[in-house]
Amino acid sequence: MGGGFLDRVGIAPSEQYTVREAEAMRKVSQSVVRNPEGYQVSLPFGSDARPNTNYRNAVAHLESLQTKFRKDREYFDQYQGVIDKYLEAGFISEVKEPKIEGYYMPHFGIKKDSRTTPLRIVFNASAKSKGHKSLNECLIPGPNLVKVAYHLLIKFRLNEYAMLADISKAFHLVLLDPRNAKYTRFLWREVAGRAFTFAFRVVVFGITASPFLLQQVLNCHFEKEGRPD
């Protein structure tokens, strides 16, 4: 398969990174630390710019969600169940002294045909107030992981045995630097109950840089523990 074809489909040798991509890799790899709970990493901001607070927009979105809950109690119960699991697992923590500063991710639920996970909550880090940047716009998404796809597929065929794994929950195993918590907030309100402000303690699936962060943490782990053949 010729190099010209690979270039056209976006696949290039892994060392061919742009200056911005290489800088993102350096920043993230330097931020990876290990603590008793696992690996911790920082969000890769592209500059000193940070997303402006979108608190009022998040409140309006939550009120719209509340209207759906009042019409569909099962939907609310499933949603509340996911929030409770997040709390129990330590993925999120309540902001005890909530302030309107920080970035708030609107969210919605997607129902699934599954007994174990009938609903998945999607967090939107691309939401923004008029005239301001979203969280995703302030982050470096990292290199295009498609670049190494060809090489991984070839390597996959070289050995007699291969292992497959579902890593969909791997994002929840990577901790975020606590200083980034103010940019991973979201609002929640029980039906006819009090309002809550939560912040994620782990990498959020929905942030544009999340796959890149996971990749860098895995690279760090393999370098320390030994890379699989």
Mean pLDDT by 10 residues, the chain (229 residues): 52 63 84 89 91 92 92 92 94 85 93 82 91 92 69 76 74 91 92 83 89 87 68
- Determine, yes or no, domain membership for 25: yes
- Determine, yes or no, domain membership for 66: yes
Quote the strand ranges of 8-127, DSSP E: 33-35, 38-41, 92-94, 107-111, 119-123
- Determine, yes or no, domain membership for 59: yes
* β-sheet with 38-41: strand ranges across: 33-35, 38-41, 174-176
The token duo for 124 is 């939107």
pLDDT of the residue at 64: 93
8 Å CB contact between 211 and 145: yes
8 Å CB contact between 28 and 210: no
pLDDT of the residue at 149: 64
- As to burial, measured by CB atoms within 10 angstroms (0-12 exposed, 13-18 middle, 19+ buried), residue 120 is middle
- Determine, yes or no, domain membership for 28: yes
Name the pairing type of β-strands 185-189 and 195-200.
antiparallel
pLDDT of the residue at 145: 66
pLDDT of the residue at 58: 92
**Which residues span the domain enclosing 155?**
3-223
| Rg from Cα positions in the chain | 20
pLDDT of the residue at 83: 95
- Determine, yes or no, domain membership for 229: no
pTM recorded for the entire structure? 0.81
- Determine, yes or no, domain membership for 228: no
Q: How many domains does the chain have?
A: 1
Dist CA 228 CA 1 (whole Å) = 26
pLDDT of the residue at 181: 93
Dist CA 116 CA 154 (whole Å) = 35
User: Which positions ≥6 away from 138 have C-beta within 8 Å?
Assistant: 45, 46, 47, 49, 50, 51
